[in-house]
Amino acid sequence: MPGQRLGYVRVSSFEQNPDRQLEGVAVDRLFADRASGKDVQRPQLAALLRFARDGDTVVVHSMDRLARNLDDLRALVQDLTRRGVRIEFVKEGLAFTGDDSPMATLLLSVMGAFAEFERALLRERQREGIALAKQRGVYRGRKKRLSPAEIGILRQRAQAGEPKARLAREVGISRETLYQYLRAEA
């Protein structure tokens, strides 16, 4: 019995439409993430990796949809092919089975490196845009999650010796964000 064709799509934001990625491609089951490709910590990717079995084929629109980091891309492809799962990248017209030619391995590395480079350029342009907006006085950063009164209460509780990790969890912020609030002027 042949395995299933499992589709994986990823978009970075809710405004983007994931439907176009595998339009016209027949899949038995689709896994779709709305998350950044900066790492592999994505719920539907994890579900796909748990679900895929020997003989299945994972179909992805392009390599940068699977991973934006060369090391992550290689690790995902190697993990899947080691388990007998074939992986196809539609846009690049490449498929990997684990018995790949040196040319296929080279193409995976080159295309993965381009995806990583593209992400680095995007982050650099974003930093430049923020710096220019700050110079013009129009960038204010993310809206503060806590009000000055809430920060004051947290500061008092922290000074009274309450564990900072518990305080951060309680108000739904990271410990680092809590430390930033505590360091800021009262």
12 classed as catalytic: yes
- DSSP of 57-112: EEEES-HHHH-SSHHHHHHHHHHHHHTT-EEEETTTTEEE-SS--HHHHHHHHHHH
- With residue 10 as reference, give the H or E element that holds it: strand 5-11
Cα–Cα dist 32/48, whole Å: 9
CA-based radius of gyration for the chain? 22
DSSP assigned state of 148: H
Task: Give Cα separations from 101 to 55, 105, 112, 146, 158 (angstroms).
Answer: 20, 6, 17, 55, 59
Q: Give the strand order in the sheet containing 29-34.
A: 29-34, 5-11, 57-60, 86-89, 94-96
3-state secondary structure of 143: coil
Q: Which of 12, 36, 101, 109 is catalytic?
A: 12
What residues are labeled active site?
12
